[in-house]
Structure 1
Amino acid sequence: MSTIISVFDTTLRDGTQGEGISLSAEDKIKIALKLDTLGVHYIEGGNPGSNSKDIEFFQRVKQLKLQAKITAFGSTRRKGAIAESDANLNRIIESGVQAATLVGKAWDFHVHTALQTTLEENLAMIYDSFRYLSSKGMETIYDAEHFFDGYKNNSEYAIAALKKAEEAGAAWVVLCDTNGGTLPGEIHEIVSRVREQISTPIGIHTHNDCELAVANTLAAVQAGARQIQGTINGYGERCGNANLCSILPNLQLKLGYSCVTDDQLKLLTGTARYVSEIANVNMPVNQPYVGNAAFAHKGGIHVSAILKDSKTYEHIQPELVGNKQRVLVSELAGQSNLLFKAQELNLNLNMENTETRAMIDRIKELEHQGYQFEGADASLELMLREASGDLEEIFTLESFKLLVEKTKDRSVVSEAIVKVKVHGETVYTAAEGNGPVNALDNALRKALYQFYPQIDDMHLSDYKVRVINEKDATAAKVRVLIESTDFSNSWNTVGVSENVIEASWQALVDSIRYALIGKTRSPQSAEAPRERLGLVNH
C-alpha cells in the first residue's frame, strides 16, 4: 500500500499574498468548493481577524459540508502576553474551524531582530499558544517559520522550537523554507535529521525564490515529510509558493505516493484553470501538467512520432491530470500536423494530393504575414474545413461603416453599420458600442440573430492586439487574437492587417462562424422559446 501524503492548500491565504491577486469572500467560497472536490485534506482560509473578507469567509464556509478541514491561520501569542487573552488566538477559536495553523519563529536571528525578544520568551510563546488552542480541542499545526535558515544558523535552537510545539500538543510540525533559498540536497539532509529528533509528523512548506519549491517539497517527502503545503498554480508572495499542480502528479504518478484518488487527480487541470479565472491571472501556457501547452506538439518530426505512439514525446498520458494532447499548426508544420488535426475533426484530408500540400504552403505564408494559428485553433479549423469542402457559408459581408464621435460633453461613442447577406437575404443593421470592435460585434449579432438566435449563447471573453513590425509605428501591421466562450467551450481566432479594425473584423467573423458551425437552425426556429440562464446581453 502506498504511503499517504496529507495535502494542505493555502491558496486562499498565502496565495493571496502574491502580487496582483485579490479574492473576495465569494471568490474564496467558490475556490474552496473546487479544492474540496479535488480532494485536498486541509484548506487554509485566511486569518479570521485580519480583514472583513476573511471574517465573512469563515462565517459562510460553516454552512458548506466539505470533506476538507477548514483551517485558520494566525501567529503565536505576543511577547509578554498571556495566550488566553491574546485577541488573535481567541478569534481563531471563535471562527469555529476544525484546525489552526500558527506561525512561530524558528530562527534565532529573527527572534532577536524581528520579534526583538529573548530566545526563551519565543519558546514560551510557542508553547503557550499551542497549549491553549490544543486545550480547546483544535487540531494544531506549527509552521516553523524560516526553519531551514534557522537550522543552518543554530540547529539546537531550531529543534528546540519544534519540541516546544510538540510538547504543547501540536499535531504537525511544518518546516518552512520561508525565504526560498534552500537547495534540495539541504532540504533532504535536514528533514532526515529532524525525523530522528521529533516524533510528531512533519510537513513541508517551501517558497519558489530559487525556482526550487517543487523540487524541495519532493526532497522533503522522500526524506520523511508527510504533509505538503502549497498553492494552486504556485501563487504566493514574491516568486510564489510551491505549486500543488506539479507536486501532486509528481508524487502520485512518478514516486508512487497517495495524495488524492486517481479520479480526483483527473480534476487537476480543470481546477488550475478555474482558480486562474477566479483570480483573474493568466496561466502560463507552458505550466507543467496543467498548462495549455503541456502536451502540445509543434515540430513535424514530433507529431509524426506521437501519431505512432504518444509515449515518444509525452512523459505521461495527459488525461491522467485532466489535460489533453494538442497538435499545433504553424510555419514549422509538416503533413503529420495537418493529418492529426484532420483526424481530430473527422475530416478526410488526402495527404498525397496537391490541395493538401497547397494548404501547408498557405499556412506557412499566412504565418509569415503575421498570423499565428497555434494560438487560434478555431481559425485553423475553419481553414481545414474549407479545404475539405466541409464548411457551410453562414453569411457574407456586403459592407460595414464605422462612426466614432467624441464631444466635450460626453465620452467617445462608436456606431457600426453592417450589411450582410444571409440565406440570400440582405440584412442592414446598426448598433452602438463602447468602442469600434464592440460596435461591430453588436451590429453583426443584431443582423444574425433573427436567423441564428443561439448566437446569444456566446460572448467575447478576451481581446488582444499585438504589433508585428514595431518599426512602422502607427502604420505597423497588427495581429488580433479573440477568445470567445459559451456555456461549455472556449475558442480562439486570429486576424492580421495594417488596419486594426480589419484585423479585428477577421477574428470576429471567424469566432462567430466557428460558433455556428453545425449548430445552425432554420430561420423559423428564431421564434422558438429559449431558456436564458445568465446569458450575456449584447
Structure 2
Amino acid sequence: MSKALSIFDTTLRDGTQGEGISLSADDKLKIATKLDQLGVHYIEGGIPGSNNKDIEFFKRVKSLGLNAKIAAFGSTRRKDSIADQDANLNRIIESGAQAATLVGKSWDFHVHTALQTSLEENLAMIYDSIAYLKQKGLEVIFDAEHFFDGYKNNPEYALSVMKKAEEAGADWLVMCDTNGGTLPHEVHSIVSVLAGHAANSSLGIHTHNDCELAVANSLSAVQAGARQIQGTMNGYGERCGNANLCSIIPNLQLKMGYEVLTPAKLAQLTNTARYVSEIANVHMPNNQPYVGTSAFAHKGGIHVSAILRDSRTYEHVEPETVGNKQRVLVSELAGQSNILSKAQDMGIDFDPNNEDTKEVINRIKNLEHQGYQFEAADASLELLLRQANGELTELFVFESFKMLVEKTAGRPVVSEAFVKINIGGSSVYTAAEGNGPVNALDNALRKALVTYFPRLNEMHLSDYKVRVLDEMDATASKVRVLIESRDLSTSWNTVGVSGNVIEASWEALVDSIRYALLGETQLENQEVSSQRGGLVNH
C-alpha cells in the first residue's frame, strides 16, 4: 500500500467556526495562497451562497492559479426533495470548485432527531446527492457526520451509510468524530472495520479536539488505513477546535515515515502557522508543538549545557525541519551555559572563565527574584550583558520626570509628562501630552532626544502589557511592564518592575530607547559623560 497521504485543510470553513475567528474574503484568499505554498492538497473554501464573503472567495480564488484543489462544502439534499432541484447542491456546482465536501448523517439518532426522517430516506438523500455531483464532474468527498458515535450505537446502519455513498460514486469516505469524544483505540478499531468493507473509495478522517485527542485520533486512523487527513492550521475550530495540521503533518512525516510534504515545504510550516495566526488575529500559544515559539526553547542550565554539546539531548527533532529555531532562555534557572549561549546569539564575546560572567548570572537571578522576566525581554537582557562586558557608553543621563493627570467633569482625562535629561553635559527639559501617562512619557522622552538622535523617528511603541506580581497586595502590588517596540525592520522587547506602574513603564521605556540607539557612538562630535543612564554599544 502506498504511503502517500492527502492533507485536506478546512481552516477557511470549519476553522472559522471557532470562537473569535472571522475572516474577510481577502483574508481567506491570502490564507489560501499561503496554504498552497505550504503544499496542502485540498483547501476547503467555505459554503457557496451562504454569505457574501464565501461567494466572493469562490469567484476570486480561480484567478490565483493554485495547485491545491479547492473544495466547496455543503450538505445532502433536503428530505423528500429532488437532488437536481436542491439549491445547496446547485450552488456547489456553480461555485466552480473542483471538489465537493458533502456532509451526511451516519448516526441513526441524528437521522431521527435532527433530520426527523426515516433511515431509508437518509440513505436516499446521500445517494442522490453524491450521484448528482458526480454527474456534474466533481470529485466528491463524503463527510459522514458523527460516524464513530453512529457506529458505536448502530454499526450496521453506519456501515450502510458508507456503502450507499460508495455506490453513488464518492471518491472519499471520511469518518468524522464530530463530537470529539472517541478514543484512539476506538478510532483504530472502527477505521479498520471500514477499511475491510470499502472497495472503490479511499478513506479519510476528520476529528475534533474535545478530549484533546484530535491529533492522536487522526494518526490512529492513518495507521488503520485512512489516506486523507482533514484538519485546520493551529487547530482552529468550533468548541475545543479541530485536529491541528501543524502537529499532524510533522508527526506523519518525521515520526511515521509517510510522504506528506517535500522537506522544503515542511520547513515552511512554522512560518505558515504564524502567518495564519496573524491574519486570523488569534494569539498562537507559545507552547504549541513544533511551531510555537517555546517548542524548542530551553531554560534549565543542565538542559542548555547538554544541547550545546548535542541538541538531540533535549530536542526530539531538529527545529529547522519545520522552520522553527532553537531558543535559550535566561531566567532564575539559568546557568553559565545559558548566558554564554545567549551572548553568542547576540554577537557578544563572553569569557566563561571571567568573574564578570558569574556576576551577571547572579544579577539576573536576583532581578528575576524581584519580578523581572528576561525570557520575554531579550533587549533588556542584551543591554545587561553588554554593560557587564564593558561594551556600552552612555548617551543620555536621566535626571527627573513629573506627571500631571487631570480629570474634569464632562471632559476626557488629560495626561502630561515633564522630562529632564542630560545630553552631552547639557540639561534638556521637555513636556508633552499623550493618550495616557505612558504615552505622554514616551512623547516627552522622544521629544528630548530626537534632535540629537534622528533615528528615533523610525521607532514606535507597538505593544504594552502590565502584569500584577503580588495579587494579595491589591492596589499596592508590584507590577511588571513589558513593552514591545518596532522600527522599520525589526522589533524588540524590554521590561520594567516596580511597585509603581509609571516607574515600571519608564524603566521599560528607557531600555527600549537605549536598545534602539545601540551603535550610536558620538553626539555632535562630543564625548559623552560616563554617568549612569542611557547606554549604547561602542
Same fold at TM > 0.5? yes
* Cα distance in 1 for residues equivalent to 2:516 and 2:59: 42
One-letter amino acid matched to 2:74: G
Any gaps of 5 or more consecutive residues in structure 1? 525-538
Cα deviation for residue 511 of structure 1 reads: 2.2
Cα deviation for residue 153 of structure 1 reads: 1.4
One-letter amino acid matched to 1:46: G
One-letter amino acid matched to 1:111: V
Q: Is 1:158 aligned to residue 158 of structure 2?
A: yes
> Per-residue CA shift, 1:397-451, capped at 9, x if unaligned?
3333322233334322322333334455554443332211122223333333334
> Per-residue CA shift, 1:134-188, capped at 9, x if unaligned?
2221221111100111111112211221122222222211110111111111111
Are the equivalent residues in 2 in contact too, given 1:290–1:321 (CA < 8 A)? yes
One-letter amino acid matched to 2:259: S
Are the equivalent residues in 2 in contact too, given 1:483–1:492 (CA < 8 A)? yes
Secondary structure of 2:412's match?
strand
> Per-residue CA shift, 1:299-344, capped at 9, x if unaligned?
1111111111111111111111111111111111111111111121
Are the equivalent residues in 2 in contact too, given 1:25–1:56 (CA < 8 A)? yes
* Cα distance in 1 for residues equivalent to 2:450 and 2:95: 51
> 1:209 — aligned with what?
210
> 2:337 — aligned with what?
336
Q: Decide which moves more: 445-454 or 267-276.
A: 445-454
> 1:508 — aligned with what?
509
Are the equivalent residues in 2 in contact too, given 1:2–1:256 (CA < 8 A)? no
* Cα distance in 1 for residues equivalent to 2:67 and 2:431: 53
> Per-residue CA shift, 1:506-526, capped at 9, x if unaligned?
1122223223323789879xx
Secondary structure of 1:197's match?
coil
Q: 1:114 to 1:441 in 2, by over 3 A?
A: same
Cα deviation for residue 462 of structure 1 reads: 2.4
* Cα distance in 1 for residues equivalent to 2:59 and 2:348: 54
Seq. identity, %: 74
Are the equivalent residues in 1 in contact too, given 2:378–2:493 (CA < 8 A)? yes
> 2:468 — aligned with what?
467
* Cα distance in 1 for residues equivalent to 2:266 and 2:522: 39
Q: Is 1:88 aligned to residue 88 of structure 2?
A: yes
One-letter amino acid matched to 1:436: P
Q: Is 1:176 aligned to residue 185 of structure 2?
A: no
* Cα distance in 2 for residues equivalent to 1:164 and 1:443: 73
Q: 1:455 to 1:68 in 2, by over 3 A?
A: farther
> 2:70 — aligned with what?
70
One-letter amino acid matched to 1:186: E
Q: 1:354 to 1:6 in 2, by over 3 A?
A: same
One-letter amino acid matched to 2:186: E
> 2:119 — aligned with what?
119
Are the equivalent residues in 2 in contact too, given 1:452–1:521 (CA < 8 A)? no
Secondary structure of 1:410's match?
coil
Are the equivalent residues in 1 in contact too, given 2:395–2:523 (CA < 8 A)? no
* Cα distance in 1 for residues equivalent to 2:488 and 2:88: 43
* Cα distance in 1 for residues equivalent to 2:218 and 2:524: 59
Are the equivalent residues in 2 in contact too, given 1:266–1:322 (CA < 8 A)? yes
* Cα distance in 1 for residues equivalent to 2:39 and 2:423: 50
Q: 1:267 to 1:456 in 2, by over 3 A?
A: farther
> 1:372 — aligned with what?
373
> 1:359 — aligned with what?
360
Q: Decide which moves more: 101-110 or 152-161.
A: 152-161
Secondary structure of 1:63's match?
helix
Secondary structure of 1:277's match?
helix
> Per-residue CA shift, 1:70-96, capped at 9, x if unaligned?
221111111112111212122222222
Are the equivalent residues in 2 in contact too, given 1:452–1:520 (CA < 8 A)? no
Secondary structure of 2:463's match?
strand
> Per-residue CA shift, 1:333-367, capped at 9, x if unaligned?
11111111112122122222222111111111111
Are the equivalent residues in 2 in contact too, given 1:450–1:523 (CA < 8 A)? no
Q: 1:71 to 1:431 in 2, by over 3 A?
A: farther
* Cα distance in 2 for residues equivalent to 1:326 and 1:408: 51
Q: 1:515 to 1:128 in 2, by over 3 A?
A: farther
One-letter amino acid matched to 1:16: T
> Per-residue CA shift, 1:190-247, capped at 9, x if unaligned?
1111111113111110011111110111111111111111111111111111011100
* Cα distance in 2 for residues equivalent to 1:449 and 1:23: 40
Cα deviation for residue 57 of structure 1 reads: 2.1
Q: Is 1:38 aligned to residue 38 of structure 2?
A: yes
Matches within 5 A, 1:272-283: 272-283=273-284
Q: TM-score, normalised by structure 1?
A: 0.93
Are the equivalent residues in 2 in contact too, given 1:462–1:483 (CA < 8 A)? yes
Matches within 5 A, 1:137-536: 137-199=137-199, 200-423=201-424, 426-518=427-519
One-letter amino acid matched to 1:246: S
Q: Decide which moves more: 307-316 or 45-54.
A: 45-54
Q: 1:443 to 1:59 in 2, by over 3 A?
A: farther
Are the equivalent residues in 2 in contact too, given 1:451–1:521 (CA < 8 A)? no
One-letter amino acid matched to 2:78: R
One-letter amino acid matched to 1:216: N
> Per-residue CA shift, 1:44-66, capped at 9, x if unaligned?
11112222222222223222222
* Cα distance in 1 for residues equivalent to 2:428 and 2:205: 64
> 2:27 — aligned with what?
27
Secondary structure of 1:463's match?
strand
Q: Decide which moves more: 429-438 or 157-166.
A: 429-438
